Structure 1
Amino acid sequence: MRLRERFRMTGAALACAMAGVLALGGCSLLGDDSGGSPESGGSAPRSSASTQDIPYDVTPLIKPAKKYYGAAVPGAPISMKNIDAYTARTGKQPNLIEYYAAWGDGFDATGVRNAWAEGALTLMSWEPFDTSLADIAAGRSDAYIKEYATAVRKLNLPVVMDFADEFNGHWEKWGTHDVTPAQYVAAWRHIHQTFVDVGATNVIWTWAPNIVNPVKNVRLKPYYPGDAYVDWIGLVGYFTIGQDNAFDSVFGPTRDEIRTFTRKPMLLLETAAMPGERRRADVRNLFAGVAADDDMLGFIWFDYKKRADWRLEASPLALTEFKRLAADDRFGFDVRKPS
Structure 2
Amino acid sequence: MRRRHRFAVATGVIAAGVALVAILTSLSTAAEGPITTGLERVAAGFGSLEHRVSRYFRGPGRSAGLAWFARYREDLQLLRSPDAVLLGSYDSRLPNSLDGVFALEASVSTIFPLVQIYSAWGDKPEQRFPLALVTAIWDVGSVPVITWEPWLTDFESARHPHLPLRDARESHGMAAVARGEYDFHVDVWAAAAAKFGKPLYLRWGHEMNDPYRYSWGPQNNTKEEYIAAWRHVVERFRAAGADNVIWVWSPHVAYEYWDLYYPGDSHVDWVATGALNYGPIAQW
Please give the TM-score of this superposition, normalised by the length of structure 2: 0.63
In 2, Cα distance between the equivalents of 1:207 and 1:275? 30
Which one-letter code corresponds to 1:123 in the other structure?
A: V
Maintained 8 Å contact 2:252/2:258:
no
Relative to structure 1, the CA distance from residue 165 to residue 186 in structure 2 (aligned partners, 3 Å threshold; closer, same or farther) is same
- Number of residue pairs matched by the alignment: 193
Which structure: greater helix fraction? 2
List aligned pairs for 1:1-339, cutoff 5 A: 58-76=76-94, 78-104=96-122, 105-131=127-153, 132-171=173-212, 172-212=214-254, 215=255, 218-240=256-278, 274-276=279-281, 279=282, 314-315=283-284
Identity %: 30
* Superposed displacement of residue 147, structure 1: 1.0
Runs of 4+ in 1 over 3 A off after TM superposition: 32-35
Q: What is the RMSD of the two structures over their aligned residues, measured on CA atoms?
A: 2.1
Which one-letter code corresponds to 1:102 in the other structure?
A: A
* Superposed displacement of residue 223, structure 1: 0.8
- Larger gyration radius, structure 1 or structure 2: 2
Maintained 8 Å contact 1:153/1:199:
yes
Maintained 8 Å contact 1:33/1:151:
no
**Which range moved further: 57-66 or 171-180?**
57-66
**Which range moved further: 198-207 or 133-142?**
133-142
Q: In structure 2, the residue corresponding to 1:68 is in which secondary structure?
A: coil
* Superposed displacement of residue 78, structure 1: 5.0
Relative to structure 1, the CA distance from residue 33 to residue 158 in structure 2 (aligned partners, 3 Å threshold; closer, same or farther) is farther
Which structure: greater strand fraction? 1
* Superposed displacement of residue 197, structure 1: 0.4
In 1, Cα distance between the equivalents of 2:115 and 2:80? 16
* Superposed displacement of residue 77, structure 1: 5.1
Deviation digits for residues 88-129 of structure 1 (CA, Å, limit 9, x no counterpart):
111111111111111121111111111112221111111111
In 1, Cα distance between the equivalents of 2:250 and 2:196? 25
* Counterpart residue number, 2:15: none
* Superposed displacement of residue 79, structure 1: 2.1
More RCO (CA 8 Å, sep 6+): 1
Maintained 8 Å contact 1:78/1:110:
no
The answer for unaligned runs of 5 or more in structure 2 is: 1-20, 23-38, 45-73, 154-172
Deviation digits for residues 165-206 of structure 1 (CA, Å, limit 9, x no counterpart):
111111211111111101100110000000010110101100
In 2, Cα distance between the equivalents of 1:166 and 1:190? 18
In 1, Cα distance between the equivalents of 2:189 and 2:146? 12
Which one-letter code corresponds to 2:280 in the other structure?
A: P
Which one-letter code corresponds to 2:227 in the other structure?
A: V
